Structure 1
Amino acid sequence: MKKIFFLLPMALFLAACQSDKKSETTETAEERIPVELRQVKTQTVADPVYLSGLVSNEKEARLSFKTGGVIQRVYVDEGDRVAAGQLLATLDLTEISAQVSQSRQGVEKARRDWERAKNLYADSVATKEQLQNANTAFEVAKENQRIADFNQKFSEIRAPHAGRIVRKLMNEGELAGPGTPIFFMDGQGEAAWVLRAGVPDRDWARIAEGDKAEVVFDAWPDEVFVGVVSNKAVAADPRSGSFEIEIKVQAKGKTLASGLFAKAKLTPNAVGQVKCVPIEALQEGNGKDAFVFITKDNQTVQKQAIRIAFINKDCVAVSQGLENVTEVITSGSPFLTERSLIKVIPTHTSAQ
């Protein structure tokens, strides 16, 4: 009887322990977080370049007089459209015309002196040196006349091409110096607008003429304009250290203006192979640094630091951190910690 009474408490104790273990196992299974795994893919993609800048006209020009003088007439105003060769402004020609007349009289005198010296030399009265000096003076006088005629010709401003007067910087009666801008004009036509922006040397090396670009203006934020790289600088700007890129923009019938601000996404033709993960796998991104969760046994998780190269739509290109990783956790990752237990579910289960 004593043995029976002794074995009964032991049996009850063992049964209670087994019940506790079953309860703990059930509770642990219920605490497992369902997650999905997605493969790390290697894709051939182009790293886009993002830039911004101001739009200007490809044929913009600053027009000025070749010589200085008083402005006599201005024939156009700001906003006027002009044709190629149209007269825009003239100087008072009083002084310039006097210089032209003076140069022509100088040519006539030099010609007479040269002919006289030639006759005297033929009669052995003048020396050969005197003849040569007279000939030189004659040639110098003719070149002076060419200079005076040239200055007179460029004492007026004509439009170098068809376009529009953007700014008029001086008015009639003002004294204009040689080369001082009087007008600022642009060209016309849909293919005449370019976006100029500076890029660092790393991006400059990947960009080539002919690369496509998507351009968005602040004036039309919901429209995407097509652009193509038309020129890239061969030297850096000494002030900023960046390289200027020109993107020719198709206006799509819009009336563009110099100085409009625009942003562009440029896709270089040069491509490379990168490892891509779904964007929903990223956790706690900080600039180019982030991390993802991975599992090696489908039960526990591990936080894996990665370095982001770029993000292209739903593909996150990773430059470092996934060298020996084939799968990452996507769905369920926001609820995970490094101590979490997981239950891997098929991808299609979550989609239902």
Structure 2
Amino acid sequence: MKTLKTGTLVVLTSFIAFACSSSAQRSEIEEGYDAISVTLFTLEETTEETHVTGTGLLSSINDVKYAFKIGGVIDRIFVEEGQSFPKGKLIAQLLLTEIDAGHLQAQLAVDKASRDYQRVQNLFADSVATLEQLQNSKTVLELSEQQLSTVAFNKKYACIYADKPGFVVKKMANEGEVIAGGAPVLACSENGNDSWELKIGLSDKEWAKVSMGNKAKVRLEAFPDSWWEGEVFRKSGAADMGTGSFQVELKLENLTESPAIGMFGKAIIQTGLQQKSKLIPYEALIEADGKKAFVFVPMGTNRVKKQPVLIESFADKGVSISEGLEGVSEIVLGNSAFLNEFSTIQFIKQQP
């Protein structure tokens, strides 16, 4: 009986030892299986010129809104939207019936005042009329002449002539409409390759980096293979109430194409400011959204941390990071898509 108990105890002890050994081996296997292999990238700080990138719509610097000086009925509009016209062309006119009648009345008033003045002069020479009567008749003549001059001036501006060559951007009135004096009839733009501008919206920080006279590179989406020189010539002093952005206007130089107002464009402004940043590979970025993104940085020997960063610019060699990596010397380069802050990492090698 004692021998049986001893044998049973040996078997139980062996089984427990085997179970513990198998559990230890399984734990080691699972631990090795859970560890994610990563490559660390060593960061280097670089100093480079700050560039500001923005997008906007193309417009003309020399926009003109043509209008009649006086009100009336629009008789003819001789141009259509998108149509070009030379300098001096008659592009619109009012119905002249009422205006001609007013001009004729003023002319008749001048003729009558002139006859009256001549009559009073003769009477004054014969000592029949007084000096006061002569002076009053002269004043009436001068007033009527000034009235005729005013009517003639207004009649001249009842017709709109182009003072510069250009094209019609928008018709703001039509023939037969009654229009008030000074109300725009045609919105036009001046022709010429040096009359184009790109209006872009920037954030407050970007706006502060831009100065008047900064050079820029501009590309229009309609002509993706061409870049043109530009220059900052105007900065808005207030944010746009609709978008909250700050407007910067770039004058385009030597535009070789024939664009249209409203085309979408992109500008890269050279600010001339130097900024320290850290260049990282594209594959190190995760959850990029505009200028914001995340990277993983090592914590201790087998953990990682999700670190928010701010993108400064994109280049062929990688992404320039302006904020978020202060005091960080290495970031995770490989297997970022499979990591979270609870992952166990396995260091492979250091990339120089």
1:259 — aligned with what?
262
2:349 — aligned with what?
345
Partner Cα separation in structure 1 for residue 238 and residue 146 of structure 2? 39
Residue 302 in structure 1 maps to residue 304 in structure 2: yes
185, 188, 191: which is aligned to 2:188? 185
TM-score calculated relative to the size of structure 2: 0.71
Q: How does 1:124-163 map to 2 (within 5 A)?
A: 140-163=143-166
Residue 66 in structure 1 maps to residue 90 in structure 2: no
The structural deviation recorded for 1:66 is 1.6
SS, match of residue 84 in structure 1: coil
Partner Cα separation in structure 1 for residue 308 and residue 81 of structure 2? 56
The structural deviation recorded for 1:216 is 3.1
Partner Cα separation in structure 1 for residue 76 and residue 294 of structure 2? 70
Partner Cα separation in structure 1 for residue 100 and residue 336 of structure 2? 85
2:99 — aligned with what?
96
TM-score calculated relative to the size of structure 1: 0.71
Residue 280 in structure 1 maps to residue 283 in structure 2: yes
The structural deviation recorded for 1:161 is 0.9
SS, match of residue 209 in structure 1: coil
Instruction: Report the CA distance shift for 1:241/1:100 in structure 2 as closer, same or farther (over 3 A).
Output: farther
Residue 206 in structure 1 maps to residue 209 in structure 2: yes
The structural deviation recorded for 1:34 is 5.0
SS, match of residue 237 in structure 2: coil
2:43 — aligned with what?
39
Give deviations 1:189-226, integer Å, cap 9, x for gaps.
Answer: 22222233444444333323333143332x44x43442
Partner Cα separation in structure 2 for residue 23 and residue 237 of structure 1? 64
Q: Which amino acid aligns with 2:45?
A: K
1:3 — aligned with what?
none
Are the aligned partners of 1:193 and 1:251 in contact in 2 as well (CA < 8 Å)? Answer: no
Instruction: Report the CA distance shift for 1:126/1:49 in structure 2 as closer, same or farther (over 3 A).
Output: farther
Partner Cα separation in structure 2 for residue 137 and residue 177 of structure 1? 31
Partner Cα separation in structure 1 for residue 219 and residue 109 of structure 2? 61
Instruction: Report the CA distance shift for 1:34/1:329 in structure 2 as closer, same or farther (over 3 A).
Output: closer
The percentage of aligned residue pairs carrying the same residue is 27
2:6 — aligned with what?
none
Partner Cα separation in structure 2 for residue 286 and residue 247 of structure 1? 27
Instruction: Report the CA distance shift for 1:170/1:305 in structure 2 as closer, same or farther (over 3 A).
Output: closer
1:51 — aligned with what?
55
Q: Which amino acid aligns with 1:96?
A: I
Residue 196 in structure 1 maps to residue 208 in structure 2: no
Are the aligned partners of 1:201 and 1:242 in contact in 2 as well (CA < 8 Å)? Answer: yes
Q: Which amino acid aligns with 1:245?
A: V
The count of corresponding residues between Structure 1 and Structure 2 is: 327
Partner Cα separation in structure 1 for residue 41 and residue 220 of structure 2? 37
SS, match of residue 205 in structure 1: helix
Partner Cα separation in structure 2 for residue 81 and residue 235 of structure 1? 35
Q: Which runs of 5+ in 1 are unaligned?
A: 1-8, 10-15
Instruction: Report the CA distance shift for 1:289/1:193 in structure 2 as closer, same or farther (over 3 A).
Output: closer
Partner Cα separation in structure 1 for residue 323 and residue 149 of structure 2? 67
Residue 228 in structure 1 maps to residue 231 in structure 2: yes
Instruction: Report the CA distance shift for 1:316/1:84 in structure 2 as closer, same or farther (over 3 A).
Output: same
Are the aligned partners of 1:276 and 1:318 in contact in 2 as well (CA < 8 Å)? Answer: no
Instruction: Report the CA distance shift for 1:114/1:311 in structure 2 as closer, same or farther (over 3 A).
Output: farther
Are the aligned partners of 1:68 and 1:177 in contact in 2 as well (CA < 8 Å)? Answer: yes
Are the aligned partners of 1:111 and 1:138 in contact in 2 as well (CA < 8 Å)? Answer: no
Q: Which runs of 5+ in 2 are unaligned?
A: 1-9, 11-17
The structural deviation recorded for 1:22 is 11
SS, match of residue 189 in structure 1: coil
1:12 — aligned with what?
none
Partner Cα separation in structure 1 for residue 79 and residue 339 of structure 2? 71
